[in-house]
Amino acid sequence: MAKITKANSVGEWFDQRLNTTALNKVMMTEYWIPKDINFLWAMGVVLAVTFKLLIISGIFLLMYYKPDVNLAFDSVNYTIMQEVAYGWLFRHMHGVAASVIFLIIYIHMFTGIYYGSYKKGREMIWISGMLLFMTFSAAGFSGYMLPWGQMSYWAAMVITNLFGGIPLIGDALVVWIRGDFNVADATLTRFFMLHVFLLPVTIMAIIGVHFYTLRIPHVNNQSSEDIDYDAEAEKYLAGNKKESKVIPFWPVFLSKDFAVLGIFLIFYFYLVFFNYNFAMDPVNFDPANSMKTPAHIYPEWYFLWSYETLRGPFFDMFGLKAGDIGLMIFGFAQAAFLIIPFIDRDPDILPAHKRPRFFIWFWIMIIDLLVLTVYGKLPPTGANAWVGFYATAVFLLLFASMPFVTKADAKARGAL
Amino acid sequence: MRELKILAIVVFFTGLLYWGVEPFAHTKLHPHVPAPDYTFKDVDGLNGLIGDATKGAESVASNCTACHSITAVGFPPVMDDVTSAASYGVVPPDLSTSGKIYNADYLAAFIKDPAKAAKTAHKFEDGAAHPMPAYNWMEPQEIANIVAYLQSIAPKEMTNKEVYVDACQRCHSIKYGDFYGGSMAAQTPDENIKSYMGVIPPDLSQMIRSRSEGFLHEFINDPQKHLHGTAMPRVGLTEESEDQVVNYLTEVGDSKKAEREALAGPFLGYLVIFAIFALLWKMKIWRQVH
């Protein structure tokens, strides 16, 4: 039993029972972050806030949304958008945040790749982050189905159909996922469950893990310097704040995050009020119609690059059908970035500009993903199909070459 | 400086990405079509003839009112909507406002040959006939008189909803126009309109969100431009009437537009203030560590 005496303040009362002073030190005032960082280090907090916006707006939408194929479209587009006070605001916030969060995830992810923040003890940060990327993708996809518009229906049709390509169990798997032979009411209600319960709960749990994974290896810094945290923290606490290479999470690190967040929120709410069509596709304002295929079916922008790897191989090769090759590459693309820590054979942590060959690799990757994304939206005909084909080939070659590229850099530096 | 350089790179690639998946992709997905033509240059219209409304009244009484109601001058509908839809395939329009909402040249061309003016001749190739017969046997002057008469009885002002009802509602429902009352359902019952048009014309409740305003103008002015072979007729609305129809679609489908635009300023203003204070606080804190 802890020693409980008469408390002189509310803080002390809690401290005796919950040890809040120590907790505050561990989590905030003596949780050490490197000082040598730039605004890209604020993306984690930006993501946490965007996720919070999604949860809050989602709760309000949940109060009026009806998961039924006959009611869903009108509950969103009439009840929420036209009748409920500020329902349109919550829906726009939710739709735009769902899209923008992927932009920030990609920035966060490529910051990690650029600075080599995924290896030498930081593998679990990377893996838990990639798990978040996957669960967020599932949440994005399941949420997109809920308004039951044309794109909801047809995207669900196309994507669930993909599982049919898996050998032996494919057909049964499609029925199992849909809960029906077709995309129907049972499909909508189960994706509703995933979107409002299982996936958010899973995401919150993985966010907890992701934060915890930072504890032991610490956050990386701009020059990838290996910092002696104990010594630097001691300096800081002794008052040598200017010399110390570390800063506490609160208030120093978060003050920078809030400044970045302020600018981000202006950008985000500008989109909410004025430029939302990129996140809320106009085609999805046509009610789902199983008899009428839209002229162009494409996923949301953040899935386009992997969708294009599916369409990339458009002719049979090596005795395999084009569709099967596409499906294999698509399957690989979902997990491709997960394996980066294990195919990077450079033993040092360094930013890309200090790894000349990797630096080129990095920018080719960015450009290739951009090409895949843009061509993933265009109809795959004529020259477009060939652009998609070569961009997919480059994507695969980049992963195949990563061990050699990274090893060559290490050798040139004399590290191997 | 380094932060700004990194920011520039992030902004550049984000902009490139946005340009690629939005404006660029849309030019490929939705090919450009010529701008709407509100003069209907291509039709065989009045050709400069000036009509006489008094004579037109006689012609209308002997040629039009057997099928068309003109409630404004005391010709009520002879049948209810269901019966007339069953008889004609589609509910014939009341002519009270035709002289105002339709372009005069278009109206003359339509009387002469409805399918040709409406650009729906492709629907009537295999023996089927347009529900309204062509009046190409009529003297052009008499047609001009009819148009003049219809213009003389038309109201000067109409609400957006009135234009919509007369121009669109015979075929299209717009459920959100009266969600609980149901009064904005298409006048022609589904089964009749389906056999007449081939499909049930879409509900227009969310057209303002699913199609851009520009697209709606191009489409209503000449549906064939964007949807070649569609059964939807070119209806020949004047520019003013078409604006009113699109405004009605906005009032119904994007009813909170004004609220959204009014809220944006204060909302973003608040965030700018928040950002300034956040930046000042950051500078104050970081001065201690740099």
For the cut 80, the answer to whether the pLDDT of residue B127 exceeds it is: no
Q: What is the pLDDT of residues B31-50, one digit of tens each?
A: 889 999 999 999 999 999 99
Helix (H, G, I), strand (E, B) or coil at A179: coil
**Residues B68 and B207 occupy one common structural domain:** yes
Mean pLDDT across chain B, nearest whole number? 95
Q: Which residues on chain B are in Cβ contact (under 8 Å) with A270?
A: 268
Apex A125 CA angle, A230 and A213, nearest 5: 50
Cβ contacts of A131 within 8 Å, gap of 6 or more: A206
Residue closest to B56 by CA, chosen among B171, B147, B127, B162:
B147
The ipTM (two decimal places) reads: 0.95
Helix (H, G, I), strand (E, B) or coil at A173: helix
Judge contact between A284 and A294, C-beta under 8 A.
no
In a domain, B240, yes or no: yes
Distance of CA B159 to the CA centre of its chain: 15
Q: What is the pLDDT of residues A218-270, one digit of tens each?
A: 999 999 999 999 999 999 999 999 999 999 999 999 999 999 999 999 999 99
**Residues B177 and B270 occupy one common structural domain:** no
Burial B119-146 (b: 16+ CB within 10 A, else e): bbeebeeeeeebbbebbeeeebebbbbb
Contact A266 B268 (CB under 8 A): yes
Range of the domain at B289: 265-290
CA distances from A30 to A23, A228, A234 (A): 10, 15, 10
Helix (H, G, I), strand (E, B) or coil at B117: helix
| Cis peptide, bond prior to residue A287, ω within 30 of zero | no
Interface test with A, best of B285, B286, B287, B290 (most A CBs within 10 A): B285
**Per-residue pLDDT band at B124 (split at 50, 70, 90):** confident
Q: Residue A246: beta bridge partners? A: A34
CA distances from A402 to A220, A360, A361 (A): 21, 11, 8
Contact A39 B3 (CB under 8 A): yes
**Residues B182 and B39 occupy one common structural domain:** yes
Lowest mean pLDDT among A184-193, A317-326, B226-235, B263-272: A317-326
User: What average pLDDT does the segment B148-169 reach?
Assistant: 97
**Residues B26 and B44 occupy one common structural domain:** no
User: What average pLDDT does the segment A211-218 reach?
Assistant: 96
pLDDT at residue A79, rounded to an integer: 98
Apex B72 CA angle, B70 and B73, nearest 5: 75
Residue closest to A94 by CA, chosen among A55, A65, A132:
A55
In a domain, B249, yes or no: yes
Query: Residue A208 has which token pair?
Result: 């907890």
Q: Residue A263: beta bridge partners? A: none
- Indicate the length of chain A as a whole number: 416
Contact B274 A262 (CB under 8 A): yes
For the cut 70, the answer to whether the pLDDT of residue B17 exceeds it is: yes
In a domain, B259, yes or no: no
Identity of the residue numbered B87? S
Choose between B29 and B127: higher pLDDT.
B29
**Per-residue pLDDT band at A331 (split at 50, 70, 90):** very high
Question: Do the strands A32-34 and A246-248 form a parallel or antiparallel pair, or are they unpaired?
Answer: antiparallel
Residue A282: which of B20, B175, B210 has the nearest Cβ? Answer: B210
Residue B286: which of A103, A107, A256 has the nearest Cβ? Answer: A256
How much of chain A, in percent, has pLDDT values that exceed 70? 100
Contact B202 A295 (CB under 8 A): no
Contact B271 A262 (CB under 8 A): yes
**Residues B49 and B185 occupy one common structural domain:** yes
Q: What is the pLDDT of residues A143-193, one digit of tens each?
A: 999 999 999 999 999 999 999 999 999 999 999 999 999 999 999 999 999
User: What average pLDDT does the segment B56-64 reach?
Assistant: 95
pLDDT at residue A2, rounded to an integer: 67
CA distance A74 to A195: 19
**Residues B46 and B133 occupy one common structural domain:** yes
**Per-residue pLDDT band at A1 (split at 50, 70, 90):** low
For the cut 70, the answer to whether the pLDDT of residue A8 exceeds it is: yes
User: What average pLDDT does the segment B263-277 reach?
Assistant: 97
Interface test with A, best of B2, B14, B17, B178 (most A CBs within 10 A): B17
Identity of the residue numbered B149? Y
Residue closest to A286 by CA, chosen among A274, A275, A295, A299:
A295
Quick one: which H or E segment has residue A236? helix A229-237
For the cut 70, the answer to whether the pLDDT of residue B136 exceeds it is: yes
CA distance B267 to B106: 47
Residue closest to A293 by CA, chosen among A146, A155, A148:
A155
In a domain, B155, yes or no: yes
pLDDT at residue B211, rounded to an integer: 93
Tally Cβ neighbours within 10 Å of residue A63. 10
Residue B275: which of A262, A277, A284 has the nearest Cβ? Answer: A262
Mean pLDDT across chain A, nearest whole number? 96
Q: What is the pLDDT of residues A43-101, one digit of tens each?
A: 999 999 999 999 999 999 999 999 999 999 999 999 999 999 999 999 999 999 999 99
**Residues B21 and B38 occupy one common structural domain:** no
Contact B256 A273 (CB under 8 A): no
In a domain, B169, yes or no: yes
Cα of A303 to nearest chain B Cα, Å: 12
DSSP category for residue B22 = I
Q: Which residues on chain A are in Cβ contact (under 8 Å) with B10?
A: 40, 107
Name the residue in chain A with its Cα closest to that of B29: A378
For the cut 80, the answer to whether the pLDDT of residue B170 exceeds it is: yes
Q: What is the pLDDT of residues A334-349, one digit of tens each?
A: 889 999 999 999 999 9
Query: Residue A317 has which token pair?
Result: 């090769």
Name the residue in chain B with its Cα closest to that of A74: B176
Residue B210: which of A242, A256, A285 has the nearest Cβ? Answer: A285
**Residues B175 and B270 occupy one common structural domain:** no
Cα Rg, chain A, nearest whole Å? 24
The position carrying tokens 């291509």 is B42
Cα of A107 to nearest chain B Cα, Å: 8
Choose between B218 and A3: higher pLDDT.
B218
In a domain, B258, yes or no: no
Contact A374 B24 (CB under 8 A): yes
**Per-residue pLDDT band at A308 (split at 50, 70, 90):** very high
Query: Residue A408 has which token pair?
Result: 């060559």
Tally Cβ neighbours within 10 Å of residue A175. 14
In a domain, B112, yes or no: yes
CA distance A11 to A285: 52
CA distance B155 to A260: 58
Judge contact between A312 and A393, C-beta under 8 A.
yes
**Residues B277 and B203 occupy one common structural domain:** no
CATH number at residue B238: 1.10.760.10
- Indicate the length of chain B as a whole number: 290
Helix (H, G, I), strand (E, B) or coil at B237: strand
Q: Which residues on chain B are in Cβ contact (under 8 Å) with A366?
A: 13
Cα of A282 to nearest chain B Cα, Å: 4
Name the residue in chain A with its Cα closest to that of B179: A78
How much of chain A, in percent, has pLDDT values that exceed 90? 94
pTM, two decimal places: 0.95
Contact A251 B285 (CB under 8 A): yes
Name the residue in chain A with its Cα closest to that of B254: A82
pLDDT at residue A86, rounded to an integer: 97
Q: CB-based burial of residue A18 (10 Å sphere; 0-12 exposed, 13-18 middle, 19+ buried)?
A: exposed
Looking at the 3D structure of chain B, how many domains does it have? 3
**Residues B2 and B109 occupy one common structural domain:** no
**Residues B16 and B109 occupy one common structural domain:** no
Residue closest to A309 by CA, chosen among A204, A400, A389:
A389
Contact B18 A255 (CB under 8 A): no
**Residues B13 and B129 occupy one common structural domain:** no
CA distance B283 to B290: 10
CA distance A130 to A123: 11
Identity of the residue numbered A368? D
Q: Which domains does chain A have, with CATH numbers?
A: 35-295 (1.20.810.10), 298-416 (no CATH)
CA distance B217 to B33: 11
Query: Residue B62 has which token pair?
Result: 């002997």
In a domain, B260, yes or no: no
